[in-house]
Amino acid sequence: MSLFLAVDVGTGSVRAGVFSQDGQLLGQASQDIRTWHPRPHFAQQSSADIWGAVCASVRTVINQAAIAPEDIAGLGFDATCSLVVINGQGDPLSISPDGEQEQDTVLWADHRAIAEASRIDETGHQRLNVSGGKISPEMQLPKLLWIKENLPSIWQQAGHFFDLPDWLTWRATGNLTRSLCSTVCKWTYQGEAGTKGEGWDAEFFALAGLKDLADEGFSRIGTECLSPAAPLGPLSEKAAQELGLTTSTLVAASMIDAHAGAMGTLGVTADAVGLDRMALIAGTSACHITVAQQAAYVPGVWGPYYGAVLPDLWANEAGQSMAGAAIDTVLQRHSAFEGAKAAALEQGMTIYDYLDDLLSGLASEEPPSLLTNDRHIIPDFNGNRAPLADPRRLGVTLGQTAIPDIGDLARDYLACIQSLAYGTRHILDQLAENGVRPDAIVVSGGLGRNSLYCQTHADVTGLPVLLPDQEEPVLLGTAMLAAVGSGKFESLSSAMDAMSGPAKVLRPDTGTRAFHDRKYRVFRAMHDDFETYRKIMSE
């Protein structure tokens, strides 16, 4: 029996899942991981803590599912696009301003390098075209420049700088080969699989202040890249022992977590829905991913990335730095939150289900969406990733009253979910202006289980929303990597055909379209007003 093991390293936890060849989830387990915030805009993790959580979750799922370790034919990893720094012996190097040795990982959401990103933007180099004209502080070059200038001794000691998904495959196999998914999307690499590092641009690195990496032949950031799912070799003896597996398990080239979600959802079957789809992977943050045969350069949207998701196809990636985190921010700042949370707990409900029920009661005979006629939110509490590409954007709430009761909290909750959907519509409008027009949205991630979020996206965008029957599509996409890397499927396309499964279709409510059109106009006007106010205050 050949089974596939998927490991997903998210922002706050590691999850492991075992899948059959037809895509059935046979078991899963999770383990929390730590994040440190030593200063504002800093977010740091420990690769040792992450690997410990990987081993714990893998051992747990193998034991609970009563699976023989030798039945695991392939292992795939996905992870957040965080930056891991180690020395030449593989030991962690601190990226903390306070020097904590174990904190060797700059989390994807860390915004310490905003100034460095702006300086790289000032180069005007053509490589910036694939990040929407600007580089994000969430990408790796600004973070590398910050480390070089603020932690020079660490910079000199560093033997390797890894994207977290590639660190995981290295830790599992000892293979330094990087995945095109990470290097193309987050490191400005442009090339095809197996090109031995020719995809780096020495001129751009020099202009960006990172000339020494080029002078070294890019050895510290990767000299060979392979397509996601390419075989990297078997588990090392050490890793196999730590994971409770055997060295017969083959490891596949990795993926960024959101891209694994795209892999696990874009192939779902649904009646009367086209195949030109956008994958919306929505959890703490949200990523919007499309793939196409033609390259599209879209201002404020990352890409086009060749081969980052599927071979021979171009991917575009937009996103929201905060999605589920934006909802939680809005709720937790409200004075009625603790009371609502206690009431939800008393009724055995999540706070979100409790607020959904409350909205239905408040609405009486009208659609609940109309309850926010006077409540408008911009959820850019951690900047606007797309399509404005502005990490300095801030959140805005308009239409607050003097009565902060639970009903007011419910309206804030609804207005925030609507604003996230308007953000998706803003991204879709920008894509459409540049020839990319999806005909459906496939939702996965934690918010894929929030019915209000999903239906609101259908109502606001006018597109059908597909909800995969597979309860863990991110893990499924990573299992597809394992299936191909182990040789059980010849391509990712064939793995998608065999493992994706069906999806439920949510159709837009056309009766609320005019209301959402008006609110979307307010949403866009608030963005313009924010820029106006910022200019006034900078005079």
pLDDT digits (tens, 9 = 90+) for 58-111: 999 999 999 999 999 999 999 999 999 999 999 999 999 999 999 999 999 999
- Hey, is 376 helix, strand or coil? strand
The domains of the chain are located at: 3-256, 269-468+509-539
Handedness of CA 487, 491, 494, 496 (dihedral sign): positive
* 527: phi then psi, degrees, rounded to nearest 5: -60, -45
Whole-number pLDDT of residue 196: 67
Whether the Cβ atoms of residue 250 and residue 486 lie closer than 8 Å to each other:
yes
Q: What is the pLDDT of residues 136-147, one digit of tens each?
A: 999 999 999 999
Do domains 3-256 and 269-468+509-539 share one topology? The answer is yes
For the beta carbon of residue 502, count every other beta carbon within 10 angstroms: 13
Whole-number pLDDT of residue 197: 67
- Tally of CA atoms within 13 A in the half-sphere of 493 that contains its CB: 6
Mean pLDDT (the chain) is: 96
Q: What is the pLDDT of residues 149-196, one digit of tens each?
A: 999 999 999 999 999 999 999 999 999 999 999 999 999 999 876 666
Whether the Cβ atoms of residue 495 and residue 239 lie closer than 8 Å to each other:
no
On the question of pLDDT at 115 being above 70, the answer is yes
For the beta carbon of residue 272, count every other beta carbon within 10 angstroms: 7
On the question of pLDDT at 450 being above 70, the answer is yes
For the beta carbon of residue 75, count every other beta carbon within 10 angstroms: 32
> Model pTM?
0.91
Structure tokens at 506: 């949510």
Q: Is the peptide bond preceding residue 391 cis, with omega within 30 degrees of 0?
A: no
For residues 482-488, average pLDDT: 98
For residues 493-502, average pLDDT: 96
Q: Please, which residues have CB within 8 angstroms of residue 174's CB and are 6 or more apart in sequence?
A: 236
Lowest mean pLDDT among 165-179, 262-276, 381-395: 262-276
Q: Please, which residues have CB within 8 angstroms of residue 352's CB and are 6 or more apart in sequence?
A: 327, 413, 450, 452
Whole-number pLDDT of residue 192: 75
Q: Which among 35, 38, 118 is positioned nearest to 82, based on CA atoms?
A: 35
The Cα 381–Cα 135 span in angstroms is 19
Q: Please give the CATH topology (third level) of the domain spanning 269-468+509-539.
A: Nucleotidyltransferase; domain 5 (3.30.420)
Structure tokens at 289: 């991913």
pLDDT grade for 203, boundaries at 50, 70 and 90: very high
Q: What is the pLDDT of residues 391-442, one digit of tens each?
A: 999 999 999 999 999 999 999 999 999 999 999 999 999 999 999 999 999 9
Question: Has domain 3-256 been given CATH number 3.30.420.40?
Answer: yes
Whole-number pLDDT of residue 194: 62
Vertex 92: Cα angle to 88 and 97 (nearest 5): 120
Whole-number pLDDT of residue 312: 87
For residues 2-11, average pLDDT: 97
